């Protein structure tokens, strides 16, 4: 067995949490049950990985099998990578029958014709998802198994999820191969990125709970709203306002859990608007500014802002449109802007841990579970 393959398998096993190693090796299926019985899974990972490599040596593993183990690992822990979403287009209405073998053949051929030194592996999963692992080399060097891109393609949809990792220069080639193999005409990158692959799928396949506009001509007299505190001696004076906020929030965000995103980024290319006393710029040129919201769970944080008293309800549509528009990177321009009222007007009652360079703000909207909202 190749030294590099042995090392690669060893390092892959080391990534896996110790309690999961056995199940993952069983999923891999390369080592037999009897072989797995011989490994002591309670020793330190260093030793477990050595034992695994030893057994793989006996079975003469090659890079193809090692790659499969890597795919399995990434399928179970996709959130360690950053995923972007691409959408493919085809003109014409015909829905062609999807042939998996044809897809794989065309993909490999296209990719290899441009770059000989690539390792390509496929693995199919139940939800029509095809996972493709590509290890990139250069025209002069063998594929580097540690510089991999992952592609997840749901064959019944025009969407592709790509985790490109370091080699951005290979992206056009990858996109081309995908378009050719899947019989589409072109592909474009959507402005949607996150660590959580499942959340990206939820957003794009519209699987999250969406809000439905409910029209109430008169606010309903809610007599049986569950009291926030069980203690009847505590009386909330602003109960109506709180209820209004909950109602508005529910209309905007829906009832279910939100897809998990870590960032929302807004690039402003708008004119600086101020009263004439504050003439910051002599020339009338666009004020370039970037606002980035970051959080372990951005949408849940936004959902809890108004109930926590940190922002007015309803929130700015620029924030609440993120799942519907399936994007979390925005460019806001002066004229022909996405929303009427061209500049971003977010009423934040406090610069909640806002800091920034001269031209950008980073606003940290971290959510502390379970109940209170805070920035630490």
Q: Where does this chain bind another protein (CB under 8 A)?
A: 234-238, 240-241, 309-310, 349-353, 374-376
Spatial distance between the Cα atoms of 203 and 323, rounded to a whole number of angstroms = 6
CB of 218 to another protein, least distance (A): 16
CB of 302 to another protein, least distance (A): 17
Side-chain half-sphere of 23: how many Cα atoms within 13 Å? 7
Backbone phi and psi for residue 71, each to the nearest 5 degrees, phi listed first: -60, -45
CB of 309 to another protein, least distance (A): 6
Q: Given the complex with another protein, which of 158 and 307 has the nearer CB atom?
A: 307
CB of 210 to another protein, least distance (A): 30
For the record, the structure tokens of 253 come out as: 């965000």
CB of 166 to another protein, least distance (A): 35
Q: Given the complex with another protein, which of 215 and 376 has the nearer CB atom?
A: 376
For the record, the structure tokens of 187 come out as: 């592909």
CB of 236 to another protein, least distance (A): 5
Q: Given the complex with another protein, which of 59 and 374 has the nearer CB atom?
A: 374
Question: Closest Cα to residue 263, out of 317, 204, 171, 196?
Answer: 196
**Is 9 exposed, middle or buried (CB count within 10 Å of its CB: 0-12, 13-18, 19+)?**
buried
Q: Given the complex with another protein, which of 191 and 243 has the nearer CB atom?
A: 243
For the record, the structure tokens of 233 come out as: 């001696």
Q: Given the complex with another protein, which of 343 and 352 has the nearer CB atom?
A: 352
Q: Given the complex with another protein, which of 14 and 308 has the nearer CB atom?
A: 308
Q: Given the complex with another protein, which of 241 and 285 has the nearer CB atom?
A: 241
For the record, the structure tokens of 270 come out as: 């708008």
CB of 179 to another protein, least distance (A): 50
Q: Given the complex with another protein, which of 333 and 351 has the nearer CB atom?
A: 351
Annotate 260-280 with DSSP letters as a single string: P--EEEEEEEEE----GGG--
CB of 304 to another protein, least distance (A): 15
CB of 171 to another protein, least distance (A): 41
Spatial distance between the Cα atoms of 296 and 259, rounded to a whole number of angstroms = 11
Spatial distance between the Cα atoms of 317 and 251, rounded to a whole number of angstroms = 13
Spatial distance between the Cα atoms of 308 and 375, rounded to a whole number of angstroms = 12
Annotate 113-129 with DSSP letters as a single string: HH-S-EEEEEEE-TTSE
Q: Give the distance from CA 126 to its chain's centroid.
A: 21
Give Rg (Cα) of the chain: 26
- Dihedral angle at the C-alpha atoms of 368, 261, 314, 357, nearest 10 degrees? 80
Spatial distance between the Cα atoms of 200 and 71, rounded to a whole number of angstroms = 19
| Angle between the N-to-C axes of helices 100-114 and 171-181, in degrees from 0 to 180, rounded to the nearest 10 | 150
Q: Given the complex with another protein, which of 99 and 350 has the nearer CB atom?
A: 350
């Amino acid at each position: 067995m190749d030294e590099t393959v042995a090392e690669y398998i060893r390092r892959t096993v080391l990534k896996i949490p110790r309690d999961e190693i056995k199940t993952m090796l069983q999923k891999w299926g390369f080592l037999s049950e009897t072989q797995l019985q011989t490994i002591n899974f309670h020793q330190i990972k260093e030793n477990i990985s050595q034992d695994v490599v030893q057994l793989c040596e006996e079975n003469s593993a090659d890079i193809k099998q090692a790659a499969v183990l890597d795919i399995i690992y990434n399928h179970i822990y996709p959130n360690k990578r950053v995923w972007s979403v691409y959408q493919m287009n085809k003109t014409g209405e015909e829905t062609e029958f999807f042939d998996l073998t044809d897809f794989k053949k065309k993909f490999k051929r296209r990719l290899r014709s441009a770059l000989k030194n690539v390792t390509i592996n496929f693995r199919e999963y139940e939800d029509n998802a095809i996972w493709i692992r590509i290890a990139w080399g250069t025209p002069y060097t063998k594929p580097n198994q540690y510089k991999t891109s992952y592609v997840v393609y749901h064959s019944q949809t025009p969407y592709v999820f790509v985790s490109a990792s370091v080699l951005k220069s290979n992206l056009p080639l990858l996109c081309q191969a995908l378009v050719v193999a899947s019989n589409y005409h072109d592909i474009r990158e959507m402005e949607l990125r996150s660590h959580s692959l499942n959340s990206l799928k939820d957003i794009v396949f519209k699987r999250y709970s969406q809000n439905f506009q409910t029209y109430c001509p008169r606010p309903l007299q809610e007599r049986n709203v569950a009291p926030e505190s069980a203690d009847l001696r505590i009386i909330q004076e602003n109960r109506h306002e709180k209820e209004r906020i909950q109602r508005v929030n529910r209309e905007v965000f829906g009832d279910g859990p939100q897809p998990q995103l870590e960032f929302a980024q807004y690039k402003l290319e708008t004119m600086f608007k101020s009263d004439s006393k504050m003439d910051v710029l002599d020339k009338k040129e666009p004020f370039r500014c970037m606002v980035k919201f970051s959080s372990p769970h951005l949408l849940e944080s936004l959902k809890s802002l108004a109930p926590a008293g940190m922002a007015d309800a309803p929130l700015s549509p620029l924030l609440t449109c993120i799942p519907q528009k399936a994007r979390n990177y925005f460019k806001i321009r002066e004229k022909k802007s996405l929303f009427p009222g061209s500049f971003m007007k977010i009423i934040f009652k406090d610069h909640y841990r806002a800091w920034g360079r001269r031209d950008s703000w980073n606003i940290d909207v971290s959510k502390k579970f379970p109940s209170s909202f805070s920035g630490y």
